[in-house]
Amino acid sequence: MQKVRHRLLLLAPLAAFLLVFFAGPMAGLLSKSVREVEVPRALPRTIEALEGWHYGAPLPPAVFTEFASDLVIARENGTLAHAARRLNYEIPGLRTTIMRASKKVGAAPEGTRFDSAFFAELDPNLASPEFFAVVQRARGPVSGFYLLSALDLQRGFNGDIGWAPEEYRIYIDVLFRTLLISGSVTLGCILLGFPLAHLLTSVSEKTADWLIVLVLLPFWTSLLVRTAGWVVLLQREGLINKTLIDLGFLAEPLDLIYNRTGVLISMTHVLLPFMILPLYGVLKGIPPLYMKAAASLGAGPITRFFWVYLPLAAPGLVAGGLMVFIQALGYYITPALVGGASDQMLSFFVANYTTDTGNWGMAATLGLIMLILTLVLYAIAQRLSGGRTQLAG
Ranges within 269-308 binding other proteins (CB under 8 A): 269, 272
Q: Does 337 bind other proteins (CB under 8 A)?
A: yes
The minimum distance between CB 242 and other proteins, in angstroms, equals 7
Quick check: 259 binds other proteins (CB under 8 A)? no
Position among 32, 35, 75, 304 found at the interface with other proteins (CB under 8 A): 32
Q: What's the distance, Cα to Cα, between the start and end of the chain in Å? A: 37
Q: How far is the CB of 36 from other proteins (least distance, A)?
A: 16
| Number of Cα atoms under 13 Å in the Cβ half of residue 372 | 8
Q: Binding to other proteins (CB under 8 A): which residues in 190-219?
A: 192, 195-196, 199, 211, 213-218
Number of Cβ within a 10 Å radius of residue 111: 5
d(CA 7, CA 180): 45
Stretch that binds other proteins, among 42-50, 163-171, 250-258, 323-331 (CB under 8 A): 323-331
3-state SS, residue 95: helix
Angle at the Cα of 81 from the Cα atoms of 103 and 125, rounded to 5 degrees: 65
Closest distance of CB 29 from other proteins, Å = 4
49: closest CA among 108, 136, 170?
136
Our finding on whether 322 is near other proteins (CB under 8 A) is no
Which listed residue (161, 293, 376, 391) binds other proteins by CB under 8 A? Answer: 391
Nearest-angstrom CA–CA distance, 179 and 342: 16
Q: Is 179 left (phi over 0), alpha (psi -120 to 50) or beta?
A: alpha
249 binds other proteins (CB under 8 A): no
The nearest distance, CB 111 to other proteins, in angstroms, is 41
Q: Write out the binding residues for other proteins, residues 352-381 only, by CB under 8 A.
A: 354-355, 360, 363, 367, 370-371, 374-375, 378
Q: Find the radius of gyration of the CA atoms of the chain.
A: 29
Exposed (0-12), middle (13-18) or buried (19+): which is 329, by Cβ within 10 Å? Answer: buried
- DSSP state, 78? T
Q: Min. distance of Cβ 347 from other proteins in angstroms?
A: 5
Q: Is 7 in the site for other proteins (CB under 8 A)?
A: yes
CA distance linking residue 152 with residue 170, whole number of Å:
7
Nearest CA-CA partner of 54 in 127, 126, 137: 137
Question: Cβ 28 to other proteins, closest distance in Å?
Answer: 6
Does residue 14 touch other proteins according to CB under 8 A?
A: yes
Q: Does residue number 239 form part of the binding site for other proteins (CB under 8 A)?
A: yes
Q: Does position 44 bind other proteins by CB under 8 A? A: no
Window 103 to 122, contacts with other proteins (CB under 8 A): none
Can you tell me which of 15, 172, 310, 372 binds other proteins, judged by CB under 8 A? 15
Rounded to 5 degrees, what angle do the CA atoms 30, 32, 36 make? 150
Under rule CB under 8 A, residue 178 binds other proteins? no
